[in-house]
């Protein structure tokens, strides 16, 4: 009897082990803007949520995670063939969403997310805007739709709308305090009445929120390069704000940049801290970090004094030294903080040259904290310990 009981317990434990090893449990899937996972993780989550949906096709949460897993798998796909495969799966998910959970918050949110407002004609733009508004009416406190609402206001130049949703977004707690501080420092890096070119979610939405909801640096004209490429209306509004003539029949994002450079006539132009210019050698040769933005300057430019002034007088730095609050997305914060490194390393070299040991040590402490437990830790350690 004991032997039989032992076999039963052992068998049950073995099955539990096997199930735990082979079956992936469905987890909340976030956009890589907030949480980054590898391609295999998104594939496994797609499969896990697919099983949930087969049991309950009216589960809105499952459909949302199912779609997000497919979308992130597409973004992280290791080949073009797989990219197209996941794009097709995303289309298939949306088709099923329309049949199974119509007129729900998740339905309108996913329809917005799946449709590109920036590359669409006016009728489609109006339809996408209506979806975002319907989702907001169903639940104004859910933050997933806020980027789509911000897009809707951006594309028509509705500053009051951006202020309204910006205030709501700030109060929601969805945005990391560290990200807000980073965005503040980016804006403070820029000269008065400058043009600031952005290229992503984390360097665009928080900047618009601070501008329109908090009245911080409203003098800056923020132009998202990809949005300006995709939407004639957005491009026209943003260019006219700085008395620039917008290009027509645009064929690339680079054409947007070149048109601005040709017309700025000594007006200050900056790129955000994002990595957009990293793949453009001709721009790298004419851009200089001044903190959390890169100044465009056609010719030699001494950026050290600007870096010193920004870090010593204008920037919020407490969040780099001490975390006084828990972060909802700590990996996002870690990635964003790495954007300080180019300027901080130049600042460290400056303090070393002028033999200001106190400021040099303080800067080194910030740098070490930023790179701790990252792939950059060893390289930076060698840099700081070099004679």
pLDDT computed for residue 323 by the predictor: 77
Is 47 contained in some domain?
yes
Residues 6+ apart with CB under 8 A from 32: 72, 75, 76
Looking at per-residue confidence, does 266 or 158 come out higher? 158
Taking a C-beta distance cutoff of 8 angstroms, is the pair 223, 238 a contact? yes
**What are the pLDDT digits (tens) for 58-84?**
999 999 999 999 999 999 999 999 999
What's the rounded Cα separation, in Å, for the pair 254 and 260? Answer: 10
The residues that bridge with 287 in the sheet, in sequence order, are 296
Specify the pairing of strand 269-272 against strand 293-296.
Answer: antiparallel
Is 212 contained in some domain?
yes
Evaluate if residue 184 carries a pLDDT over 50.
yes
**What are the pLDDT digits (tens) for 215-225?**
999 999 999 99
Query: Tokens for 214?
Result: 């908090």
Helices of type H across the chain? 2-22, 39-55, 60-76, 80-100, 105-114, 122-138, 146-156, 159-172, 177-188, 205-214, 225-230, 232-241, 253-263, 281-284, 304-309, 318-321, 330-337, 341-353, 357-371, 377-384
Same domain for 376 and 349: yes
pLDDT computed for residue 162 by the predictor: 97
Is 1 contained in some domain?
no
Looking at per-residue confidence, does 362 or 9 come out higher? 362
Structure letter (DSSP) for residue 171: H
pLDDT band of 21, cuts 50, 70, 90: very low
Query: Tokens for 329?
Result: 């997305």
Taking a C-beta distance cutoff of 8 angstroms, is the pair 303, 332 a contact? no
What is the separation of C-alpha 61 from the centre of its chain, rounded to a whole number of angstroms? 23
Evaluate if residue 20 carries a pLDDT over 50.
no
Same domain for 174 and 63: no
Same domain for 264 and 155: no
pLDDT band of 2, cuts 50, 70, 90: very low
Evaluate if residue 10 carries a pLDDT over 70.
no
Task: Point out the domain boundary residue: 169, 185, 208.
Answer: 169
pLDDT computed for residue 9 by the predictor: 38
Q: Which domain holds residue 136?
A: 114-169
Lowest mean pLDDT among 23-27, 264-268, 278-282: 278-282
The residues that bridge with 295 in the sheet, in sequence order, are 270, 288
pLDDT computed for residue 387 by the predictor: 63
Query: Tokens for 186?
Result: 């980016």
Same domain for 291 and 181: yes
Evaluate if residue 370 carries a pLDDT over 90.
yes
pLDDT computed for residue 265 by the predictor: 86
pLDDT computed for residue 15 by the predictor: 37
Same domain for 293 and 191: yes
pLDDT computed for residue 22 by the predictor: 57
% of the chain beyond a pLDDT of 70: 94
Same domain for 206 and 267: yes
Evaluate if residue 194 carries a pLDDT over 90.
yes
Is 251 contained in some domain?
yes
pLDDT computed for residue 77 by the predictor: 97
Evaluate if residue 14 carries a pLDDT over 70.
no
pLDDT computed for residue 4 by the predictor: 36
Same domain for 34 and 68: yes
| Cα torsion angle, 206, 207, 208, 214, sign | positive
**151: number of Cβ within 10 Å:** 24
Q: Greatest CA separation found in the chain?
A: 92
Is 57 contained in some domain?
yes
**What are the pLDDT digits (tens) for 319-340?**
998 877 788 888 888 989 999 9
Residues 6+ apart with CB under 8 A from 77: 39, 83, 85, 86
Same domain for 264 and 222: yes
Across the range 355-378, mean pLDDT stands at: 95
**What are the pLDDT digits (tens) for 307-323?**
999 999 999 999 998 87
Instruction: Output the CA torsion 246→247→249→252 (10° steps).
Output: -110
Is 13 contained in some domain?
no
Is 303 contained in some domain?
no
Taking a C-beta distance cutoff of 8 angstroms, is the pair 181, 201 a contact? no
The structural domain count of the chain equals 4
Same domain for 96 and 28: yes
pLDDT computed for residue 23 by the predictor: 76
Same domain for 83 and 152: no
Is 329 contained in some domain?
yes
Task: Point out the domain boundary residue: 82, 102, 122.
Answer: 102
pLDDT computed for residue 6 by the predictor: 39
Interhelix angle for 205-214 vs 159-172, to 10°? Answer: 100
Lowest mean pLDDT among 12-26, 45-59, 166-180: 12-26
Task: Point out the domain boundary residue: 297, 327, 359.
Answer: 297
Same domain for 256 and 206: yes
pLDDT computed for residue 283 by the predictor: 86
Same domain for 282 and 174: yes
pLDDT band of 18, cuts 50, 70, 90: very low
The residues that bridge with 14 in the sheet, in sequence order, are none
**189: number of Cβ within 10 Å:** 26
**What are the pLDDT digits (tens) for 109-159?**
999 999 999 989 999 999 999 999 999 999 999 999 999 999 999 999 999
pLDDT band of 277, cuts 50, 70, 90: confident
Across the range 276-299, mean pLDDT stands at: 88
């Amino acid at each position: 009897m004991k032997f039989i009981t032992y076999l039963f317990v052992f068998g049950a434990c073995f099955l539990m082990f096997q199930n735990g090893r082979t079956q992936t449990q469905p987890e909340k899937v976030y956009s890589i803007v907030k949480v980054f996972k590898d391609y295999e993780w998104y594939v496994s989550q797609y499969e896990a949520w697919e099983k949930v949906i087969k049991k309950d096709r009216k589960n809105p949460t499952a459909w949302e995670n199912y779609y997000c897993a497919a979308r992130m798998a597409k973004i992280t796909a290791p080949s073009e063939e797989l990219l197209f495969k996941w794009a097709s799966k995303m289309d298939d998910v949306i088709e099923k969403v329309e049949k199974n959970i119509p007129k729900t918050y998740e339905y309108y949110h996913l329809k917005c997310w799946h449709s590109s407002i920036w590359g669409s004609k006016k009728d489609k733009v109006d339809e996408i805007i209506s979806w975002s508004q319907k989702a907001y009416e169903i639940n104004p406190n859910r933050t997933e739709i806020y980027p789509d609402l911000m897009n809707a206001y951006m594309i028509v130049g509705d500053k009051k709308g951006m202020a309204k949703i910006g205030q709501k977004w700030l109060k929601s707690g969805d945005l990391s305090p560290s990200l807000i501080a980073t965005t503040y420092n980016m804006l403070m890096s820029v000269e008065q009445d400058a043009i600031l070119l952005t290229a992503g979610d984390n360097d665009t939405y928080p900047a618009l929120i601070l501008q329109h909801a908090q009245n911080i640096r409203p003098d800056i004209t923020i132009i998202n390069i990809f949005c300006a490429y995709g939407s004639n209306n957005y491009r026209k509004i943003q260019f006219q704000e700085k008395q620039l003539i917008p290009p027509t029949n645009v064929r690339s994002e680079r054409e947007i940049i070149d048109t601005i450079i040709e017309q700025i006539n000594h007006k200050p132009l900056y790129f955000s801290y994002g990595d957009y210019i990293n793949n453009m050698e001709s721009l790298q040769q004419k851009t200089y970090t001044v903190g959390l933005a890169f100044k465009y300057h056609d010719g030699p430019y001494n950026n050290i004094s600007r870096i010193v002034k920004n870090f010593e007088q204008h920037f919020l730095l407490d969040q780099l030294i001490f975390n006084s609050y828990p972060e909802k997305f700590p990996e996002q914060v870690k990635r964003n903080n790495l954007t300080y490194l180019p300027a901080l390393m130049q600042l460290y070299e400056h303090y070393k040259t002028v033999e200001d040991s106190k400021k040099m040590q303080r800067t080194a402490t910030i740098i070490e904290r930023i790179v701790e437990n990252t792939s950059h830790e060893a390289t930076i350690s060698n840099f700081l310990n070099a004679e």
